Structure 1
């Protein structure tokens, strides 16, 4: 143990604590880690920033753009229709087809995008066949994860591990090198869900409508602003009703004309305001001398009927700009042309009061009232995803052919070894732009920059572990503790350690931390590095035991009305099954 190794392990321990506690965003922790390595002299600036020029980082960015172009072309518009038709016939057939479709698409397209595409369809199908969404959303997420480990481009983790291998002088992982063992994981996972997992899934009662589902025991109250009210003559957002009582104003009627609600709308005497209000605030409002209560009744879905307004469910997507911010900080209503949030499903609770001050997290479900124009703007916002209504993407014949040909070309060029994956992906992106499959501004928007910065940062961990000898030190400890049982036992330990760690911190951070140690361990044992790298890559993506283990698990948490224990109940047996399976098949397909 040297001073440098101590510094490296101390910085990594700090990073792990921050990853697990989520006190800072994942990309912020990754960049902080990189900066600390450079500030302490462990890495030079060139070594620290090398992660941003790593083929893995560039490849992941390129695949974001290619995936977006495929979705925008409408090439997958009939997938949801097929699922809907099968779902109406049989729940079991729907379960099988859902996992097969999710797995197949995720092998070539970003799995988060696949879940975003299929989740609204699954929720609608569940309502059609009177099955709780909780019976289908976990299979959707798990299927996408299992399909993602079948190819190099199926998940960013596979690309990251390949980049780490290449940086340490090893052969990069090949496009379909993951497929033989990956198919075993996919088939075993589907069989598990069909014969065992479906019985462990929760069966949350279906609500008749969104207002019931979100427990809106609040009241719709119509109030009249009297001439002496302090709210008269001031913008809605600055009125005492909104500023002091934090009341949600849903509609303003003036001289029998319904006005569209904006934060800057100037209130006038005798305006009739339809407000959503809790019981306690209703008592305070009755004591207000500046208003007169006109009527009050229980909230119903039809109470949003103004300017074709409807209720929508939308989730905060992983790595969203909205994470960690409140609706007030986001100026949500003004930014979305007057769309209003009526309730928030935040983890295991539904929040009705002081909504503007709730700090949002990935997976939170917002109940929003919006008209068609506002809803369209919400659909164009990548930070949230509307899940309560399915809108099929337009089938664009002029784009589908070049998009599919270019995408197939990217895969074949990399799979045959004609060019490295980073080059084929970049050429594919350039071709997509040249042939107008995607606009340049859309390409920039398609990249999840938080993931890119996170990858650039976490790659510094591997560089620091390797440079200082910390990876060798940790590998020696592992060999001393488990090496006596042979390389097969060590391989099994790496798979177990990886999937357990991934359940509580970023899968990419886990892979970046353990892949260098796996390489050195194999070299110290005098065996092939390949099976150890594959164990880390597979295990880092096959994470089922917690909602924060993978982005897709987080996405379905709120819409499925799941609890933390649901993931443990369904995911733990599956992870243990895969651990046993991996210990047997990885050495078979990748000999030690």
Structure 2
């Protein structure tokens, strides 16, 4: 291989390591990869920028806007109200999957799961059921639905766009549906009959459940009439008496070096951890006040509500301190406590950098709550308000989405143009606000798509694709195209769990097409295998954003996804090996 090919391999390996580590944002990793390819002269500056004008990137951006219109217009709320009446957990799981899978074919999966997540948690609380029994099937159903249409997930759009770049025939909007529907039906059946026995039945006390998301950390200030003044923390025996556990004693800006033996004085701030109900009881009985709330100087006459917020995947507030997020002044909000799964925080709340999955207990102005629910940086885990929705806007949103699907499905307009027209129509009819489309856009995914697409060009130009194909054919030997299809599917599934679904599609579509060419068969079945293997990531909580969301909210362990997801991937793989050649024959002319 040439030095350019070896350099491309090194860039891919480094990017995979960074994707898997999650220590660097995925869009930044893609931009670093793009910069390296240009600096080394592997791709030209013009090719490097071509990904941002690619039709897949444009379509994904427009589909984000369409999904936002469906969500924010209240189009899903009649269904949510219907599901909220269910009392049996197993029936809720089944109903959730049957509702989410069809909607997931047209609505962004993250927005869909964020909309149904509070409902699932409330029903689990009411029926005393672990959320872990419901949330993972819900996330999987969103993926199963997304793979059924070309516009259901960004990896399908990417696969179609890259196939066209290799001079293959593109895919229709519903061309994936026959295979996708079969897999969805089998997947839902598996989750109800087999998966339910593999899901955890109980959640650790350390893990989040609705209404008591976990062991919150908060700051309590000692008042002049507190019963704790003059005592040490050790002598007060807070854990035995109140079920609240002190972490630190703060005096002004100083952190006391021996908090348990230090005598408590007026004005000291205790950093404590415990269930919120016990913290509140301790606060009242010991004569303390919540320090963040006491610093809240807004108009106290206005009505405020206490809510739970979870930091969403790909949230723009990730890594920022609460004061830097802007939600304090935008929504008149103050954070009272914070819970981080698997970690005991020992910093002042104002110094904590937020992470995905953090749950914040916050006081919010009641009038600002509706706007906060529309902020995609957070998922509101408490009950949702419905007053700001109007049936007229919901009708407009559903009608516009159907029009986009019909127009693009009938090929009257290219998919990117139809999606852009739909987004404009939703904006004009008020399905979302003027700024919503920019604030709610998942820019990380758009930047990722634009920056990573030139990697496929680099793989082709350097001859790396040819080398990888020869290695793959050496493994397959003389076992025929079905064995090669199996190899492509399994390799894509593995790469997806390591680096995410979009990068794996970019890496594999060119290789899959080359493998098909070397075997003198139609490349389209191989592209379909890549699309389906990438869009159904079940084995880890990091392979797909919806998995990440329920991982934190459901209190799962990493191995829970492996126990349920790996058998499901193998079932999908076996079905795909049988059905893909049936729907997309290796020799189309011979099939006719």
Give the alignment's TM-score, normalised by structure 2. 0.84
Aligned to 2:337: 342
Which residue is equivalent to 1:320?
315
Match of 1:549 among 507, 531, 543: 543
Q: What is the SS of the residue equivalent to 2:84?
A: helix
Matched, 1:195 2:190: no
> Structure 1 residues 341 and 457 mapped into 2: Cα distance closer, same or farther (>3 Å)?
farther
Give the match for residue 240 of structure 2. none
Whether 2:439 is the aligned partner of 1:445: answer yes
Q: Say yes or no: does 1:386 pair with 2:380.
A: yes
Moved more, 158-167 or 426-435: 426-435
Matching residue within 163, 173, 179 for 2:177:
179
Q: CA deviation at 1:442?
A: 2.0
Q: 1:585 to 1:414 in 2, by over 3 A?
A: same
Corresponding residue for residue 233 of structure 2: none
Would you say 1:431 and 2:418 are equivalent positions? no
Q: Counterpart of 2:574? A: 580
Task: Report if aligned partners of 1:339, 1:371 keep a CA contact under 8 Å in 2.
Answer: no
- Give the corresponding residue for 1:214: 214
Unpaired segments ≥5 residues, structure 2: 227-248, 271-276, 285-289, 295-299, 587-592
- Tell me which moved more, 297-306 or 121-130: 297-306
C-alpha root-mean-square deviation of aligned residues, in Å? 3.1
Partner residue, 1:410 = 404
- How far off its partner does 1:345 sit? 2.3
Task: Give 1:300's aligned residue.
Answer: 280
Shift, 1:533, TM fit: 0.6
The 1:198–1:407 alpha-carbon spacing in structure 2 relative to 1, beyond 3 Å, is: same
Contact conserved, 2:132 with 2:555, CA < 8 A, in 1? Answer: yes
- Residue 260 of structure 1 corresponds to none
Describe the shift of the 1:140–1:298 C-alpha distance in structure 2 as closer, same or farther (beyond 3 A). Answer: closer
Residues 367-415 of structure 1: CA deviation (Å, up to 9, x unaligned): 3344535655643432111113233364423323332222111101111
- Note if 1:113 corresponds to 2:111: yes
What residue number does 2:589 align with? none
The answer as to 2:20 corresponding to 1:20 is yes
Measure the CA separation in 2 of the matches of 1:130 and 1:408. 39
Offset at residue 35 of structure 1 (A): 1.4
Matched, 1:521 2:515: yes
In structure 2, the residue matched to 1:472 is 466
Q: Return the alpha-carbon distance in structure 2 between the equivalents of residues 159 and 287 of structure 1.
A: 61
Moved more, 448-457 or 375-384: 375-384
Q: 2:477 matched to 1:497? A: no
Change in Cα spacing, 1:568 to 1:289, as seen in structure 2 (3 Å) is same
Q: Give the ranges of 4+ consecutive aligned residues of structure 1 lying more than 6 Å apart after TM superposition.
A: 206-211, 289-293, 301-306
- Equivalent in 112, 126, 137 of residue 139 of structure 1: 137
Rounded to whole Å, the distance in 2 between the matches of 1:324 and 1:218 is 19
Deviations 1:99-141 (A, max 9, x none): 0111111011111110011000110111122211111111110
Q: Distance in 2 between matches of 1:435 and 1:218?
A: 43
**2:11 matches 1:11:** yes
Q: CA deviation at 1:203?
A: 2.1
Larger displacement relative to structure 2 (66-75 or 374-383): 374-383
Please state whether the residue corresponding to 1:224 is helix, strand or coil: coil
Please report how far the alpha carbon of residue 314 of structure 1 lies from its aligned counterpart in structure 2 after TM superposition.
1.7
Tell me if 1:536 matches 2:516: no
What's the counterpart of residue 235 of structure 1?
none
Moved more, 181-190 or 319-328: 319-328
**1:124 and 2:104 correspond:** no
C-alpha separation between the residues in 2 aligned to 1:550 and 1:242? 44
What is the CA-CA distance between 1:431 and the residue it aligns to? 2.4
Match of 2:64 in 1: 64
What does the per-residue CA deviation read over 1:56-96, in whole Å, with 9 as the maximum and x for residues that have no partner? 000000001111111222111111111111x21x3222211
**Are the equivalent residues in 1 in contact too, given 2:251–2:269 (CA < 8 A)?**
no
Distance 1:310 1:337, change over 3 A: closer
1:244 corresponds to 2:242:
no
Q: Distance in 2 between matches of 1:109 and 1:473?
A: 39
**Distance in 2 (alpha carbons) for counterparts of 1:280 and 1:338:** 33
CA contact (8 A) 2:312 2:379 kept: yes
> In the aligned structure 2, how far is the partner of 1:366 from the partner of 1:329?
15
For residues 526 and 376 of structure 1, what CA distance do their matches in structure 2 show?
Answer: 57
1:518 is displaced (CA, Å) by 0.8
- How far off is 1:480 after superposition? 1.6
Give the Cα separation in 1 of the matches to 2:459 and 2:451: 14
| Partner Cα separation in structure 2 for residue 507 and residue 373 of structure 1 | 39
Aligned to 2:232: none
- Give me the whole-angstrom Cα distance separating, in 1, the residues matched to 2:492 and 2:269: 62
**Aligned-partner SS, 1:503:** helix
The structure-2 alpha-carbon separation of the partners of 1:19 and 1:212, relative to structure 1 and needing over 3 Å to count, comes to: closer
Aligned equivalents of 2:183 and 2:220: distance in 1? 51
Farther off after superposition, 392-401 or 508-517: 392-401
1:210–1:339 Cα change, 3 Å: farther
C-alpha distance in structure 1 between counterparts of 2:220 and 2:562, whole Å: 40
Question: In 1, Cα distance between the equivalents of 2:253 and 2:165?
Answer: 56
In structure 1, the partner of 2:31 is 31
Q: Which segments of 5 or more consecutive residues in structure 1 lack a partner in the other structure?
A: 227-238, 247-278
